[in-house]
Structure 1
Amino acid sequence: MSTATLTPPAPAAPRSAGPRRRRRLLAVASPLTLMLLWELLSRFDVVDSRVLPPPTAVLVRIGELTAGGDLLPHVEATVVRFAAGLSLGVVAGTLVGLTMGLFATPRAILSPIIAMIYPLPRIAMFPLILIIVGFNERANILEITLAPFFTMAISTMGAVLAIDPVYRDVARSFETGTRDLYLRVTLPATLPAIMGSLRVSVGLALMSTTAVEFLAASSGLGYLIWHAWQILSLKDCLAGMVVAGILGSVAYLAVGVLDRWLVPWQRRT
């Protein structure tokens, strides 16, 4: 009687670094191409350089504002407001979303309220916030918090409801406590959706930050952009926009690093 020889499966071939290197090259090349196109359009008077100064002139102006000490205070003010509003909105929205997804009673109470408030423009709610909280920095941060809060709450609730109910049933059969139900069962299952919503929330929080600084601040990149436009200093206006774009890109990349760390099983080639 013969016995079959069991051979271990061949190890998987290592993934080529070529596609990853190509994507990184494209990620760098695409903004540089856009900047080059902008430069050429301004230099050859396809667009009026007085209205749209070339990026080299804008970069020179950024250097002048930085050297003169005029830019960094605005950047610092925007970063503080942006980080505070984003953090509060993400944490509160995720917690509310998890609660609404796990328990029917909070979902029945909060869903109509969120459905009523969510479609309203965030900036339209700012006067009410100013009346309630006062004309101060807390009102600014609360306004910034609203955008990521609703995005995280709605997305997280949907992710929880999409979990196969058998996982919660098994957890309850083992008499899992509420804390473990949140942290050990539901949160890991919804992390991919939460991280995707966080990417969206970064942009929404930065837009809310600049909008608030347009209206109710005497510092920040939004204030710099709006003040420069009022006095028709278009180089300063574009300088503030470019720095705000760089800030958003850095925040977006940081979320990508956090995503790869927290959700390694979702890592893509």
Structure 2
Amino acid sequence: MSETGSGSLPAQAPVRTETVRAKSVTAQPVRKGWPHDDGYRPGRFTGWILPVAFLLLAEVCARLDIIPARLLPPPSELAQTLWSLAARGELLPHIWASLARVLAGFAIGSLLAIALGLLVGISRRAEALLEPSFQALRAIPSLAWIPLLLLWLGIDETPKIVLIAIGAFFPVYLNLVAGIRDIDYKLIEVGTSSGLGAPELIRHILLPAALPYLFTGLRGGLSLAWMFLVAAELIAATRGVGYLLSDGRESSRPDLVLAAILILALLGKFSDSLLRLLEQRSLRWRDAHRPSATKS
């Protein structure tokens, strides 16, 4: 009897220990994500709720004469304006002209910003030489560049693209420099101790580590490119969405002005969504906050 009892105690002790451990684990509160990871899954059309509600409210206010139509035309009138422009074959040429200018200016400004941002980020001499001038140029308003660009480059497409490139340059440059400066110096030490040269160090360490900052700058630069487009198309333009804005102002047509603003908003949102999709695919390796619904 004593041998049986003494033999059963060691066999039961691990089971009790594991039970206690399991209870202690289950008793711990579930950690929430940042800021509140409550498992909420937004619907596909959740982002459309506010714009659609605003359009419906504007339509109702216009129909009831709460807001004069000369100040805020109803959305149905804006739809008719866009339809008439498309039926006359005028809408798509304006959109394509603005798209071409934004893409060209954004590409030129972003590439220059990446090159100079890398140079300033890795070289103290370049930082001391270029950073004060860039900070001063960044404070110049977009409209202040127009007279100078007209004197230097004439009235064709070149000054428009240059102005858009100026707007896209500074967000990309500033965010890339901040991303390079925020890199852990231990990563650079590991790269240099592994025998990596400057090009390999930039390609394998600096750019991947600063990539989240770079995409933030690219999205900000793209947004400013669309803003600078309106100022650029004031430079003797005869085609473009900015030209529609100017034409609506001169002809006292608020429906045309609001239609052009709506086109700019849709084009900006569509281009930003494409860039955001590229960002998500390029940064899959990043261990950042994700909603709990997407976690496996």
Q: Which residue identity lines up with residue 255 of structure 2 in the other structure?
A: K
Partner Cα distance (1:17, 1:250) in 2:
29
- CA distance 1:87–1:20, shift in 2 (3 Å): farther
Q: Which residue identity lines up with residue 136 of structure 1 in the other structure?
A: D
Preserved contact between residue 35 and residue 55 of structure 1 (Cα < 8 Å):
yes
Aligned match of 1:19: 40
Q: How many residues align?
A: 258
- Kindly provide the CA deviation profile for residues 142-190 of structure 1, in whole angstroms up to 9, marking residues without a partner as x: 1100111011111110111011111112212223122222221111101
Larger Rg: 2
Preserved contact between residue 42 and residue 52 of structure 1 (Cα < 8 Å):
yes
Matched, 1:177 2:205: no
- CA distance 1:186–1:144, shift in 2 (3 Å): same
Aligned match of 1:58: 78
Q: What stretches of structure 1 of length at least 5 have no aligned partner?
A: 5-15
Q: Which residue identity lines up with residue 180 of structure 1 in the other structure?
A: E
Aligned match of 2:290: 268
Matched, 1:210 2:249: no
- CA distance 1:69–1:17, shift in 2 (3 Å): farther
Aligned match of 2:212: 192
Preserved contact between residue 260 and residue 267 of structure 1 (Cα < 8 Å):
no
Aligned match of 1:201: 221
Candidates 96, 112, 119, aligned match of 2:116? 96
Aligned match of 1:252: 272
Candidates 212, 219, 241, aligned match of 1:221? 241
Partner Cα distance (2:214, 2:57) in 1:
36
Partner Cα distance (1:70, 1:58) in 2:
15
Partner Cα distance (1:214, 1:100) in 2:
34
Preserved contact between residue 143 and residue 212 of structure 1 (Cα < 8 Å):
yes
Partner Cα distance (2:189, 2:154) in 1:
47
Partner Cα distance (1:142, 1:267) in 2:
38
Candidates 100, 110, 113, aligned match of 1:80? 100
- Kindly provide the CA deviation profile for residues 79-136 of structure 1, in whole angstroms up to 9, marking residues without a partner as x: 0001111111122112211221111111111101101111111220222222222322
TM normalised by structure 1 equals 0.89
Aligned match of 1:48: 68
- Kindly provide the CA deviation profile for residues 63-88 of structure 1, in whole angstroms up to 9, marking residues without a partner as x: 11111101111111000001111111
Partner Cα distance (1:38, 1:116) in 2:
42
Q: SS of 1:244's equivalent?
A: helix
Partner Cα distance (1:30, 1:202) in 2:
24
Which range is displaced more, 152-161 or 128-137? 128-137
> RMSD of the TM alignment (CA)?
2.2
Preserved contact between residue 140 and residue 216 of structure 1 (Cα < 8 Å):
no
Aligned match of 2:54: 34
Aligned match of 2:20: none
Q: How does 1:154-169 map to 2 (within 5 A)?
A: 154-169=174-189
Q: Which residue identity lines up with residue 95 of structure 2 in the other structure?
A: V
- Kindly provide the CA deviation profile for residues 14-53 of structure 1, in whole angstroms up to 9, marking residues without a partner as x: xx9962334x432121211121122222222121112211
